[in-house]
Amino acid sequence: MQTNNNFLTKEVFEKRAKAGLSWLKRSIDVCGGNGSAAYYSRVYKPLKGWAAAYPETTGYIIETLFDYSKYFNDDTLRQYAIKQADWICTLQFENGALPGGLVDNIPEPSIFNTGQMIFGLVRAYEETKDEKYLRVFEGAINWLAEVLEDDGSWRVGAYVKGFVPSYYTRVIWPVLLANTYVKNDEVHASMLKALKYYIGKIQENQSVRHWSFKEGQKAFTHTIAYTIRGFLESAILLKDDHLLNQTRGLAKKVMDLRETQGSLAGWYDEQWKGSHYFTCLTGNCQLSIILSKLFELDNNLDYHNSAIKIFGDVVNKQRLSGGKNTYGALSGSSPIWGRYLIMRYPNWAMKFYLEAYLLLMENQKAIDITS
């Protein structure tokens, strides 16, 4: 399958990016400025409306708002980002944990969601130097280290009780990142232990055991990408060449699948048997990001070209028509009734879409300059 690369022009990129950012800002505005609504749906609760704010994904949306505030020299986006970070600070439990679920649920500490909110807190600290953010993410990483099991797994604060998913690698990464400022040796040691546990899940066929949401379920490309990105960014932070090579192997498998099958399935089992009746758009964006990051590391054009193809399968799925609640949005699946986030436009789909797109544009510009 050939991909039309005309979306890599500045004009098309900026039109689509502005549409996506407009939708993200609306997802925050409908929550009174405190958090981004998890999704918009014409079918799911609330019927024909916006879901409640989602602290987890708001956490990493903060990074994207800061990135685009710089690209467009738009202070409004910066202020949106700071306000979301301030809001997350109000959600912390006394033990340092941050909550799972949407804000209309009874809050409970969550391993994964705490990790994702750390991203936004660290970025807000980097941008503002306000130590209130440091205090909150320090408490969060201390809690994550304290509740780590002796074998390196996390078993409390689970999304599915009793199941230890391998996409927790994406918790190790923000803890390591935050600890570059906190500098706690015990936290560092605990993350090395955790990383060893999850590395042990990598199989010879370049899949990872338990990288799905539930035991025995196929893994959406969304959680596959969560897992691989956690390994990749942890390897970079730790300067771990062996882990980096293992991550390259996982990424190469994804590249080969896209090349041989013409598109990626929406989800795969641990033997890489996929379901092609739908595409997980969020996961495609995330996998494109991973390949763009590897291109930046290795300067291997194969990564960049594959990132373009995988993102190219997504870019035209963004809505550039319709009312204000869907203009600029991206559905969870294509078709929209596909298995991942059926009939919904999730805020994290747009976050990863915008992140992937900006990386591709930056890398393409660097290639054009040197060619």
| Consecutive 10-residue averages of pLDDT for the chain (371 residues) | 76 98 98 98 80 97 98 98 98 98 94 98 98 98 98 95 96 98 98 98 98 96 98 98 98 98 97 98 98 98 98 98 93 97 97 98 94 71
Which distant-in-sequence residues (6+ apart) come within 8 Å of 314 by Cβ?
Answer: 279, 281, 284, 285, 288, 330, 334, 353, 356
Please give the pLDDT value at position 1: 40
Distances (CA, A) of 162 to 81, 139, 165, 213: 34, 25, 10, 12
Extents of the domains making up the chain: 6-370
The residue among 278, 293, 161 whose CA lies nearest residue 221 is 278
Distance between CA atoms of residues 196 and 279, nearest Å: 31
Distances (CA, A) of 238 to 30, 172, 192, 249: 40, 11, 9, 18
Which pairs with CB-CB distance under 8 Å and at least 24 residues apart come from 197-200?
197/151, 197/152, 197/153, 198/152, 198/166, 198/168, 198/169, 198/172, 198/227, 198/230, 198/231, 199/231, 199/243, 199/246
pTM, rounded to two decimals: 0.97
Please, what is the angle between helix 55-71 and helix 75-89, to 10°? 160
Tokens of 152: 């390196």
Q: What are phi and psi of 112, to 5 degrees?
A: -65, -45
Q: Helix, strand or coil for residue 82?
A: helix
Distance of CA 344 to the CA centre of its chain: 17
Burial state string for 151-169 with b = 16 or more CB within 10 A and e = fewer than 16 = ebbbeebbbeeeebbbbbb
CB 223 within 8 A of CB 165: yes
Distance between CA atoms of residues 8 and 3, nearest Å: 11
Q: For the domain bounded by 6-370, which CATH number is listed?
A: 1.50.10.10
Distance between CA atoms of residues 7 and 20, nearest Å: 14
Distance between CA atoms of residues 22 and 114, nearest Å: 26
Distance between CA atoms of residues 343 and 127, nearest Å: 36
Secondary structure (DSSP) of 153-209: ---SS-SSTT---GGGHHHHHHHHHHHHHH--HHHHHHHHHHHHHHHTTB-TTS-BT
Secondary structure (DSSP) of 316-332: GGS--SS-TTTTT---S
Please give the pLDDT value at position 228: 98
Distance between CA atoms of residues 70 and 49, nearest Å: 31
Please give the pLDDT value at position 47: 63
Distance between CA atoms of residues 353 and 282, nearest Å: 7
Q: Helix, strand or coil for residue 50?
A: strand
Q: Omega of the bond prior to 165 within 30 degrees of 0, cis?
A: no
Amino acid in the structure at residue 9: T
